[in-house]
Amino acid sequence: MNLLEELDEIVLKNVRIDVEELVIELETPSQRIIRKLPLPKQEFFLPIYEYSGKIAEVTIGGGSRKKVIKIGGQASLYWFEKGIENRAVITYDVFDCPQPQFPKALKQAWSEVWDSPEEWAKKAVERGADLVTIHLVSTDPKIMDTSPREAARTVEEILQAIDVPLVVGGCGNPEKDPKTLAKVAEIAEGERCVLASANLDLDYKKIVEAAKKYDHNVVSWVSLDINDQKHLNRLLLKEGLPKERIIQDPTTAALGYGIEYTFTIIERIKQNALKGDEELQMPISCGVTNAWGARESWRNVEEWGPREYRGPLWEAITGITVLLAGADMLMMLHPLATKKVKEIIQAIGRELEGANVEYEKWLEV
């Protein structure tokens, strides 16, 4: 026993023990031996890395806009390495015609203004929108087949109604969208809007040409494929649109419907961009509103809890997830969801402004 007490460890070699349970206790006649070993003090060092690449900084807004937004510009993967150049921003979705298919929670939030896209946009700004996205869904031939000129007039009226930067989306029709966005680019010359979107299924050259001529940015949109994202970005760059005028959108899958895949793609885009892949060095936009496509966000199932809270929570969690993945611009819809995500963005920002963070505290979580 005295010999064992002086040892820190015992190593058994060439020993085989066949038992169901083995208990070894070393005790003195009066008490069990407890040997406390002093732990060496370790100094914590932040894992700082040097990156060869940098995310381009895109400026949104100009002309008559009182507010100019900048996104991107990161030179590191984590804010504690080189800081965050620009915080993430939120743009509210607005539609140029009523959306009767909206879930009840969204109808309650917007039905009083959805007959007027200008009033809808003004209400969005009142509720804290950094930007506003107007979706010209009425241009769809299967809905109202609004002409590009009429759609551009709507955009002009919204620009007069609000003073924040504007993102302009089409209806998703590959024949109509290039014509509509080209006309919008002309009517909004000098306002540095975002034309959403150029994709591989339509005449992206026409959209790029209009963006270059009238000084706008372009969203490069693909459907959950990083290789397609690289390919489309390459094509837009080849057409002479610089990185500082491109925002990429790899598509946002809703919570419970593939959001982990979206997270992985955003993560890979950011990592490869910072490693030096110039075809991916653009800020990222995410359509968080897609969360409302999940039936759990809107179906009236009593066991799932009240829809008026469940829907906004579904959108908020989707937004927080892509924010943590590295999104720079979040397209959102419900005021409550937007409020919660914005609070998190602001909280992160306060930490960036010089708070003394004790990184060892994560051990106590």
The pLDDT value recorded for residue 37 is 66
Tens of pLDDT, residues 35-86: 666 777 788 777 888 999 999 999 999 999 999 999 999 999 887 788 778 9
Tens of pLDDT, residues 98-145: 988 899 999 999 989 989 999 999 999 999 999 999 999 999 999 999
Confidence of residue 240 (pLDDT cuts 50, 70, 90): very high
The pLDDT value recorded for residue 5 is 67
Tens of pLDDT, residues 169-193: 999 999 999 999 999 999 999 999 9
* Domain 57-352 in CATH 3.20.20.20: yes
Confidence of residue 365 (pLDDT cuts 50, 70, 90): very low
- For the segment 226-239, the average pLDDT, to the nearest whole number, is 98
Bigger pLDDT: 205 or 361? 205
Q: How far is CA 3 from CA 6, 8, 28, 79, in A?
A: 6, 11, 12, 54
The pLDDT value recorded for residue 355 is 53
In the predicted structure, residue 28 carries a pLDDT above the cut 80: no
- For the segment 244-256, the average pLDDT, to the nearest whole number, is 95
User: What single-letter DSSP state applies at residue 253?
Assistant: P
Q: Where are the domains of the chain?
A: 57-352
Residues 154 and 112 sit within 8 Å (Cβ to Cβ)? no
Long-range contacts of the stretch 267-274 (C-beta < 8 A, 24+): 267/325, 267/326, 268/226, 269/226, 269/229, 269/326, 270/55, 270/74, 270/77, 270/325, 270/326, 271/77, 273/53, 273/55, 274/51, 274/52, 274/53, 274/54, 274/55, 274/74, 274/75, 274/76, 274/77
The pLDDT value recorded for residue 153 is 97
- For the segment 291-308, the average pLDDT, to the nearest whole number, is 89
User: What single-letter DSSP state applies at residue 354?
Assistant: T
Q: 3-state SS of 27-76? A: ECCCCECCCCCCCCCCCCCCCCCCCCCCCCEEEECCCCCCCCEEEECCCC
Distance CA 181, CA 208 (A): 10
- Sheet hosting strand 131-135, strand order edge to edge: 246-249, 217-221, 194-198, 166-169, 131-135, 89-95, 329-332, 285-287
Task: Look at the block and give the residue holding tokens 């075809």.
Answer: 279
Distance CA 296, CA 301 (A): 9
Tens of pLDDT, residues 251-277: 999 998 999 999 999 999 999 999 999
